[in-house]
A and B are shown apart, each in its own frame.
Chain A
């Protein structure tokens, strides 16, 4: 088996759901960091499924404090080790879900990044507050049905597009920002090893599927995550010392967003009869903008351009 447990870091037996992307990505990232690391964790699914007292899945040193302070706790660990002359020999790794990172924990994260603390912060982006029962977060995508952004007779679900957290991080001028996906799980370990060579604050966001929250097939999590990228809805890239390096584009070309949306219960309402087609056009236009941003105007496929044109026309008609 290529993805064996490294029991010096994480032991098997934790209680995540079947097909949990957060569990997979966390293990691969943590193992790549290795046992000579100290991990901090926001409150959230990964914290709960690894740390029921008196057992802990963590064989490497690990601390969970609160929902919103993982980055600041990591900073505290970093300064303690620095003072004791143990940096950068030890990797200090802050982790948290999208809620703990992009919403309630954004302030602590911004502080750590702006101060230049030599830590790697990793956000598991499953696009909602899963641990508390699938509520909307700032990283929930447009039109996703969650328990606090429900689709209904007068609602298509979440009414805002995702907050662009990686760009917010990049605006801090930090040496490394990366967006990865559990869909390309083989890339995670080498990527993390490379990142850890960089001194200073580093931010990595990993797109992880939550079959429970997304109402998707647990056997197809990795496939679904790849579709998020291949449709242009979840761009993957690195910004290393200010230079943006997009992930190589999908081998077989960009795909229509329906292929990503359809297998997920959280977007089911978009495929019911009615005027939801216009919503899908809107989502397709978001994908077009992402593709244009990272791969240039020529890379945008015709069906995506058509969606943009349709939207523009509709806007003109209402104006």
Chain B
């Protein structure tokens, strides 16, 4: 039975740091970048105070952080890092390698815009742009979920059916720097839930093996397929681990999707991250007025929960993806993946994609409502920068 925990008012990043500490990583390597910094600062304090027996490695860069985690994980240690934006970009090469070598490193991404133009504020272009590298991506809506998803992340990553890195996304500032009531996972429960990490393969003179050999064309594809396959199959593990987490800790923080009043909705919004809080408020308000609106929230973006999303939206008359990212020269990131899943399911539900909140631009409830009003009037857009301020664009832009 889930115990009654104690809620505290904590800053999101601090709460994450304390949750991570309760997962007892053995090696932590992180480098400062706003808005992630409070996570690693707090972790270094926890280690400095002797509250956590871990090696806090003062690396020279995020590239170094990820590489230290890679080496530590390969040597059999539970390893953790946290970053944002430019830092994630600098890690990208290592992340591919961590996933390819099937090392269950856990990291947090405090989501932030990627330069240029330089912006420290939140969007999802950092996380979206590493979606293809074999890193499992969880997305939190609030600080509590960010906390809980870390516990789930370690458990799922280290599951021998998975053995892939897991990245917990929490919106920069919106979650990292806001004080919220949070219940930290109980240490004893956390210990029992995670257990000690025992690597399947590790660098060990007692049982020597080679990591990172190169392959010829006759074998490389199979290695890549194994990553793909493990990532796909991790969906079931994430659900299993999330259910176990809910039983142990009494909170439903994990899983692949959240279906919020979407079952009978004509208009279904699809989104991930903290904006879902705003969307839910708008849904509630419109529901009070009798409008059949709902939200399907993506909690696990990689693996992409195709079947679950299709099942969740198949009754809708129209679907609207609200994205904090996109792919320049193409369109959205989530939108096309959703369309792909619908197409294969034989569903021709109109889908619109709206890009909002790039570089931290605020979208208040009235913005969400405007999007809903427009699509309900029959408008369908492929991918639109919502409320773009055309007036401030330079003259040479047509």
Contact = CB atoms under 8 A, between A and B. Distances in A.
B205 A80 contact: no
Contact of B203 (A61, A79, A110): A61
Contacts of A110: 60
A65 B97 contact: yes
B328 interface: no
B213 A76 contact: no
Nearest to B98: A65
Contacts of A41: 212
Contacts of B76: 80, 84
B225 interface: no
User: Interface centre among B67, B205, B209, B214, by most A CB within 10 Å?
Assistant: B67
A117 B330 CA distance: 46
A72 to B, nearest CB: 3
A54 interface: yes
Interface string A42-84: 0000011001111110111111111011001111111111111
Contacts of A76: 27, 29, 57, 67-75, 79
Nearest to A115: B58
Given A72-B67, A73-B71, A84-B77, A52 B214 contact: yes
Contact of A83 (B55, B61, B209, B216): B55
A82 B59 CA distance: 16
A42 B121 CA distance: 36
Given A73-B74, A76-B72, A66 B55 contact: no
Interface in A4-47: 35-38, 40-41, 47
B27 A107 contact: no
A116 to B, nearest CB: 10
B208 A61 contact: yes
Interface string B95-110: 0010001000000000
A15 to B, nearest CB: 12
B62 to A, nearest CB: 11
B94 A69 contact: yes
Interface string B194-216: 00000000011100111111111
A51 B57 CA distance: 29
B118 to A, nearest CB: 22
Contacts of A53: 213-216, 219
B101 to A, nearest CB: 8
A311 interface: no
B60 A51 contact: no
Contacts of A65: 67, 70-71, 94, 97, 101, 211-212
A107 B63 CA distance: 9
A192 interface: no
A35 B208 contact: yes
A53 B217 CA distance: 11
Nearest to A41: B212
A73 B79 CA distance: 12
A53 B187 CA distance: 42
8 closest cross-chain pairs (CB), A and B: A76-B71, A111-B60, A72-B67, A80-B77, A80-B75, A73-B71, A64-B212, A56-B210
Interface of B: 26-27, 29, 53-55, 57-61, 63-64, 67-77, 79, 93-94, 97, 101, 203-205, 208-216, 219
